[in-house]
Chain A
Amino acid sequence: AAGVIQSPRHLIKEKRETATLKCYPIPRHDTVYWYQQGPGQDPQFLISFYEKMQSDKGSIPDRFSAQQFSDYHSELNMSSLELGDSALYFCASSLGGTSGSLYEQYFGPGTRLTVT
């Protein structure tokens, strides 16, 4: 079965640079979620989109922005990168990601971002 695709899988950037992470959800899934997992930490929710509209927002820094496109893929844009942004960034997808949705989230393999 098709899974969530994330690209790139690994990314190395320098401080103050920008990065763009991409997420391709499972076919027919209309909801995308972004999570950040620091070294040895639990995943922290950043933001989600349902039908191309932002549906929920977590601890996403103002330096980050994201959007969902008409084909339902999503991009996370990160600017003015800091050392503390080094983490594993997961994308997840589901059906019908409105409040109270019972649909489960399927996670991609993650993009490992290293900021030097």
Chain B
Amino acid sequence: GNSVTQMEGPVTLSEEAFLTINCTYTATGYPSLFWYVQYPGEGLQLLLKATKADDKGSNKGFEATYRKETTSFHLEKGSVQVSDSAVYFCALRNQAGTALIFGKGTTLSVSS
């Protein structure tokens, strides 16, 4: 079946540090891949997406590249800020369905 595996958190970084959150997936066909962010007490916001192999999604300094050969979609940011502290969810949507399938989420905590 379809599934998403994320690195477990929490991830604790100092401001301006480099961030990587690993995400790998299992799916049939060619799924679309997403990163969502959830700030404390709020809903899910789409951070970036990629719909085919080798696509790079980017937004607000975050990037992720759709790697079909390694079935991965790792999230990266060169210099994190305190305001980036949140829970990050990797998700996929396969061609046959409409639902998003989420990973367990990774909590990021950035201190100044």
Contact = CB atoms under 8 A, between A and B. Distances in A.
B51 A41 contact: no
Nearest to B45: A107
B16 to A, nearest CB: 29
B96 A99 contact: yes
A89 B95 CA distance: 25
B89 to A, nearest CB: 6
11 contacts: A33-B98, A33-B99, A35-B100, A42-B89, A42-B105, A48-B98, A99-B95, A100-B95, A102-B51, A104-B46, A105-B46
Contacts of B98: 31, 33, 48, 50, 55-56, 97-99, 101
A62 to B, nearest CB: 18
Interface of A: 31, 33, 35, 41-45, 48, 50, 55-56, 58, 90, 92, 97-102, 104-110
B37 to A, nearest CB: 11
A110 B40 CA distance: 12
Given A42-B102, A42-B105, A99 B97 contact: yes
By size class, the interface of chain B is 20 to 34
A91 to B, nearest CB: 9
Contacts of B36: 107
Given A42-B89, A100-B95, A105 B43 contact: no
A58 B99 contact: yes
Interface string B81-111: 0000000010000011111111111000000
Interface of B: 32, 34, 36, 42-46, 49, 51, 89, 95-105
Contacts of B96: 99-100
A59 to B, nearest CB: 10
A56 B46 CA distance: 21
Query: In the complex, which of the residues B43, B96, B98, B101 has the most CB atoms of chain A within 10 Å of its own CB atom?
Result: B98
A3 B67 CA distance: 32
